[in-house]
Amino acid sequence: MIEVKNVSHRLGGKTVLEKVNLTVEEGSIVGLVGINGAGKSTLLRLISGVYQPDEGQIFSDGRLTSKEEGRRNLFFLPDDPYYTLRSTGKSLLELYKTFYPELDKETYGRLLGTWELPDNKPIRTFSKGMRRRLFIAIAIAAGPKYLLLDEAFDGLDPLARLTVKSELNRLADENGTGVLISSHSLRELEDFCDSYALIDRKTVTHSGDLSQDLGQYCKFQLAYTLPVEKSWFEGLPTVYVEPNGKFVKVILKGKSVEMEEALRRTQPAVLEEMPMDFEEMFIHQVEDRGYLNK
């Protein structure tokens, strides 16, 4: 288990993370989310040992990640990993194998074949998406106990994204790998992460089981015979109300059966419950701080 305990960190004299607490269990896939500049990449670098926290401690299976022995079971793939002008997939594979002796060349070769990537051409000639796929193939083939991924889906086409999700699920299920993956796209994480952590106001403000937390909210679309007024829903535990003429979309916090009963008292002509998704849940949790802006 990875444990982040009361971690604070400053960059350039500015506090970017403050009293962060987080756990990543073996075999779990945790989505790390937050607005741009919230501190997701900084936290991943702290866990991996690239940065040292100014306050607090980080443990990997009980060992401090500030020590080499605590980092041996971690693999961190940053958003823009380093390579030289002469680096090829083959040379990178051999380099990483010195740090991860159990790296599975068969898995690496299978993924390169799936993604039609050459391993003997200079990486500098690759597109961003090709580079991303190559490094992800190495990370997955390394089969670490804990895998830290920063914006792993950035630059990937839809087919590659599906393959990556499938491989991460396989690692978690078969190897018990704990995955912590950051992304600015909530919808990208929703269908395969089992838990999440939201960084906001320099700390982890919300975390937990994704499906359980989603179950605390419900969404309805209603139609009326008159133009909708927001005042009709005062007194209800509304998270979001979006009127559009005689139609309205409403998100509430509570059990759907009870919320439907309360909404019917507003006498809609049509009432339909709609599926709630991860992104909409954060309308409440980030309190209109711009997280959902595209």
Q: What is the pLDDT of residue 236?
A: 95
CATH number for the segment(s) 216-275: 3.30.70.1560
Instruction: Take residue 223 and report the two structure tokens written for it.
Output: 């139609």
pLDDT tens for 35-75 read 778 899 999 999 999 999 999 999 999 999 988 888 889 99
Going from N- to C-terminal start, the domains of the chain cover 2-209, 216-275
Strands 14-24 and 2-11: antiparallel
| Residue 209 contacts residue 194 (beta carbons within 8 Å) | yes
Q: Which residues contact 267 (CB under 8 A, 6 or more apart)?
A: 224
The C-alpha atoms of residue 232 and residue 235 are separated, in whole angstroms, by 9
Give me the percent of the chain exceeding a pLDDT of 70: 96
- How would CATH label the architecture of 2-209? 3-Layer(aba) Sandwich (3.40)
Q: How distant is the alpha carbon of residue 261 from its chain centre? A: 35
The C-alpha atoms of residue 64 and residue 61 are separated, in whole angstroms, by 8
Q: Is residue 290's pLDDT more than 60?
A: no
The C-alpha atoms of residue 223 and residue 230 are separated, in whole angstroms, by 13
The C-alpha atoms of residue 90 and residue 284 are separated, in whole angstroms, by 47
- State the DSSP code for 88: B
Q: What is the pLDDT of residue 190?
A: 83
On average, the pLDDT of the chain sits at 90
The C-alpha atoms of residue 49 and residue 75 are separated, in whole angstroms, by 11
pLDDT tens for 223-245 read 999 999 999 999 999 988 999 99
pTM for the predicted model, two decimal places = 0.84
Which of 108, 165, 154, 150 minimizes the C-alpha distance to 130? 154
pLDDT tens for 185-224 read 777 788 889 999 989 889 998 888 888 888 888 999 999 9
The C-alpha atoms of residue 279 and residue 186 are separated, in whole angstroms, by 5
Termini Cα distance of the chain = 34
